Chains A and B, each alone.
Chain A
């Protein structure tokens, strides 16, 4: 898919999606003081009567959302990804267990968040929410796809967690092709035969850069935007495993339990295939500029190129 290079942060897409969803009177938005950051502030400005401020009290926010969902509302609750984790058990017991359809958005996910340091850099959110039964887990790569997938949540019948990112990245999609996205279906960005790179979030852009550089070496690369981590699109994983014979997963997240973990679980059960994971090692982040942190933590396009070579060698 060709795309303009104009940048957009996925959190901006979440904010604009909420505005578009406002025409449905069931939609309510819940905030825990960080609306300016998550971009729910856009909804608040236009729909204050359906925006609920809970203050810096995430546990309460999750259960207030659950109560509203049980009363016919469609709640969208957001805060930083890391602070949703503070209310993990509330999400597990109060939202997912009774199957209440609450849509949680955790912004500022991953080390991409940068200079705030490790306390703000959620690198385990995708893993923990993925373990909750019936939870849909998404991590879109740019503003347009975040907007599209958030809008699709309106008719989604399960609780969900969507991680968005703080910083702008080049757009992967444009206004025309973004509507082809579907929750639960991986999106093939580039088709090649030597190695398949399956990425999510801000790392889709890094994967695209890596694929271009690999093609200069004569290596033909497939790139998938796996915006939905759960339910994971097994069909596309299987198709690429057969076609390319090796896979590299790429995420701004711990190598444990996230996209890489999910793909590894699928491959080992269904179609054992050499797999290399690019992600955060079993360690916390630190303060730094985004680009230097990504290189420092081993999750930039150079790491993807190295992992691709390693994966191809294992075929």
Chain B
């Protein structure tokens, strides 16, 4: 949890410095990311392009600060990199981009595409008899995109057991709460009906995260969906469960409060 705390500091600092970005969905996602990279995820920070590494596909690409903070804490990218987030020529583009950042496996930014990309990675790994596991993180709002369900259908049909998706179920999307914009209901049962193994967890409980990651890694019989119930803006009181911090930077005063709460 100490690494997650440091990541949270990175997140609020880089979004504040950039004056733009998406802190809410980064803070909801970060505990799972830390739990994944810290346990079963086959990744070498000294060789981030290792061909046979597992893949982490951040499909909700606006949560780029969460990914950058993790890569920073792992030593793949530097403090200078995250300090230039969203500025011209920066390693840290507004949305995660595999062309710009070591350790980033997907160029996101347009929602609904990452699960299909992960499916392609998973199928290629199977063709090559590789042990690569593919992890995709999507937002719950993102499940409104039809392409998510095209991929969910195809993953089961092609029996892709090395593919796992985690749904950051924070119940808030860009404009408002999902139950105002477009509530999808029970996401887990929908994946289940497409033939996925589904696990529901508290996305801020590290033990539940680690157990779910282990379970999904060991299960190679079917694709796994982990519904991580989270709180948008988790860790910063005024951002928690607050739709206005989906895509807004904290002010100078708000940053001070955030850093106090996170220290």
In angstroms, how far is the closest chain A Cβ from the Cβ of B34?
Answer: 24
Query: Which residues of chain A from 69 to 105 have a CB within 8 Å of any chain B CB?
Result: 69-73, 75, 89-90, 93-94, 97-99
Q: Are A63 and B99 in contact (CB under 8 A)?
A: no
How far in angstroms is the closest Cβ of chain B from A235? 31
Shortest CB–CB separation between residue B151 and chain A, in angstroms?
Answer: 5
Say which size band chain A's interface belongs to.
20 to 34
- Chain A residues near B110 (CB, 8 Å)? 89, 93-94
- Kindly supply a per-residue 1/0 record for chain B positions 132-171, scoring 1 wherever the CB is within 8 Å of any chain A CB and 0 otherwise: 0000000000000011001101100110000000000000
User: A70 contacts B98, CB within 8 Å?
Assistant: yes
- Closest B-chain residue to A98, C-beta based? B107
Asked if residues A73 and B124 are in contact (CB atoms below 8 Å), the reply is yes
Can you list the 3 inter-chain pairs with the closest CB atoms, starting with the nearest? A67-B120, A63-B116, A71-B124
Q: How far is the CA of A46 from the CA of B235 in the complex (A)?
A: 56
B212: Cβ under 8 A from any A Cβ: no
Give the complex CA separation of A65 and B146 in angstroms: 18
Q: How far is the CB of B223 from chain A (nearest CB, A)?
A: 13
Nearest B residue to A61, CB-CB: B116
**Interface pair B154/A55, CB less than 8 Å apart:** yes
User: Contact: A60 with B151, CB < 8 Å?
Assistant: yes
Could you tell me if A71 and B120 are in contact, using CB atoms closer than 8 angstroms?
Answer: yes
Q: Is the C-beta of A113 less than 8 angstroms from some C-beta in chain B? A: no
CB–CB B127/A67 < 8 A: no
6 contacts between A and B (CB under 8 A): A59-B116, A60-B116, A65-B120, A68-B120, A71-B128, A94-B116
B113 at the interface (CB under 8 A from A): yes
The reply to whether A60 and B150 contact each other, CB–CB distance below 8 Å, is yes
Q: Is B109 on the interface with A (CB-CB < 8 A)? A: yes
Q: Does A49 contact B (CB under 8 A)?
A: yes
Residue of B nearest to A90 (CB): B113
A72 to B128, Cβ gap below 8 A?
yes
**Known A57-B153, A89-B110; contact A68-B121, beta-carbon cutoff 8 A:** yes
Whose C-beta in chain B lies nearest to the C-beta of A57? B150
Contact in complex: B150, A98 (CB < 8 Å)? no
**Once the chains bind, are A64 and B119 in contact (CB under 8 Å)?**
yes
Instruction: Please indicate the chain B residues that have their CB under 8 angstroms from the CB of A66 in the complex.
Output: 116-117, 120
How far apart are the CA atoms of A64 and B98 in the complex, in Å?
Answer: 16
In the assembled complex, which residues on chain A have CB atoms less than 8 Å from the CB atom of B107?
93-94, 97-98
Contact A71 B113 (CB under 8 A): no
Q: Give the chain B neighbours of A62 by CB distance below 8 A.
A: 116
Tell me the residues in window 84-112 of chain B with beta carbons closer than 8 Å to chain A beta carbons. Answer: 97-99, 105-107, 109-110, 112
Q: Closest residue of chain A to B116, judged by CB?
A: A63
Q: Which residue of B lies closest to A92 (CB)?
A: B110
| A50 close to chain B: CB less than 8 A | yes
Hey, which chain A residues are within 8 Å of B158, CB to CB? 52
Q: Which of A32-72 contact B (CB under 8 A)?
A: 49-50, 52, 54-55, 57, 59-60, 62-72
Q: Are A28 and B147 in contact (CB under 8 A)?
A: no
Contact status A64-B154, CB under 8 Å: yes
Residues of A within 8 A of B99 (CB): 97-99
B118 near A: Cβ within 8 Å?
yes
* Chain B 52-74 residues near chain A, CB threshold 8 A: none
Shortest CB distance B142–A (Å): 13
